[in-house]
């Protein structure tokens, strides 16, 4: 929901760093992979009972997730890079809820609920992108992407905010997970309504 509005504020700094790294031969794919590794480590750290340390890894992971796109815009995007980016994103999206699920038994049902809602959101997102590509549709609201990027209520910025709140107030994880799962469900409904109108 807020991703497109935040891009003009965030992209200039990321683009400067990305340009400097690209000139030194750094590729986007290793940065994507590093972001996924940090995201997975965030989940492990949270599971071990250290949510604030996990928060630092969450923020570092998302920084790299933004940086890989900046590097790709300099060196050129590839289909494999787009594939790797989305896979690495969902390593992160699933690692954090699972970390909270393993951190406390009472969190597990809510972690599974959130993981399921992320899965539904991912399916709707990727199915929409596949059909949009088939029809030759393009979207520039989120910058240049390797595939069609459909907007929704629950996007990257909202997910990051939810994860930050979970790390700062881990006791509130069940409540935050339920609220965010609801936003994900609304996103799936919203995207499905749009898909019916666009693809019928």
Q: How many CB atoms lie within 10 A of CB 5?
A: 10
Q: Give the span between the Cα atoms of 59 and 53, in whole angstroms.
A: 10
φ and ψ at residue 76, rounded to 5 degrees? 105, 135
Residue 100 tokens read as 């909270």
Q: Give the span between the Cα atoms of 3 and 94, in whole angstroms.
A: 20
Domain ranges of the chain: 3-199
Spell 8-45 as b/e; 16+ CB within 10 A means b: eeebeebbeebeebbeeebbbbebbbbbbbbbbbbbeb
Q: Give the span between the Cα atoms of 160 and 175, in whole angstroms.
A: 16
Q: pTM value?
A: 0.86
- Give mean pLDDT, residues 136-148: 58
Q: What is the pLDDT at residue 142?
A: 47
Q: Give the span between the Cα atoms of 5 and 117, in whole angstroms.
A: 24
Q: Give the span between the Cα atoms of 66 and 64, in whole angstroms.
A: 5
pLDDT higher than threshold 50 for residue 21: yes
CATH class of 3-199: mainly alpha
pLDDT higher than threshold 60 for residue 1: no
CA dihedral 115→119→122→127, nearest 10 degrees, is: -170
- Give mean pLDDT, residues 15-29: 90
Q: Give the span between the Cα atoms of 20 and 11, in whole angstroms.
A: 14
- Give mean pLDDT, residues 78-95: 92
Q: Give the span between the Cα atoms of 193 and 35, in whole angstroms.
A: 33
Q: Give the span between the Cα atoms of 24 and 193, in whole angstroms.
A: 45
Q: What is the pLDDT of residues 58-79, one digit of tens each?
A: 999 999 999 998 899 888 888 8
What mean pLDDT, rounded, does the chain reach? 88
Sign of CA dihedral 63, 69, 75, 80: positive
Q: Give the span between the Cα atoms of 160 and 20, in whole angstroms.
A: 26
Q: What is the pLDDT at residue 7?
A: 67
Residue 126 tokens read as 């990727």
| 80-94, 100-114, 125-139: segment of lowest average pLDDT | 125-139
Q: Please indicate whether residue 176 or residue 139 has the higher confidence score (pLDDT).
A: 176
């Amino acid at each position: 929901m807020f991703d497109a509005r935040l891009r003009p504020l965030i992209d200039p700094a990321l683009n400067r760093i990305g340009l400097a790294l690209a000139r030194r031969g750094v590729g986007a794919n290793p940065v994507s992979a590093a972001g996924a590794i940090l995201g997975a480590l965030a989940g492990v750290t949270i599971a071990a009972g250290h949510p604030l340390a996990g928060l630092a890894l969450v923020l570092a992971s998302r920084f790299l997730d933004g940086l890989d796109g900046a590097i790709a815009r300099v060196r050129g995007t590839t289909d494999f890079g787009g594939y790797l980016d989305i896979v690495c994103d969902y390593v992160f999206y699933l690692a954090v809820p699972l970390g909270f699920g393993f951190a406390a038994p009472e969190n597990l049902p809510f972690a599974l609920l959130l993981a399921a809602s992320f899965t539904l959101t991912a399916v709707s997102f990727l199915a929409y992108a596949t059909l949009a590509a088939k029809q030759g549709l393009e979207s520039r609201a989120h910058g240049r992407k390797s595939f069609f990027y459909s907007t929704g209520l629950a996007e990257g910025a909202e997910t990051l905010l939810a994860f930050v709140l979970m790390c700062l107030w881990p006791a509130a994880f069940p409540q935050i997970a339920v609220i965010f799962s609801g936003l994900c469900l609304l996103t799936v409904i919203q995207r499905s309504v749009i898909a019916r109108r666009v693809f019928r």
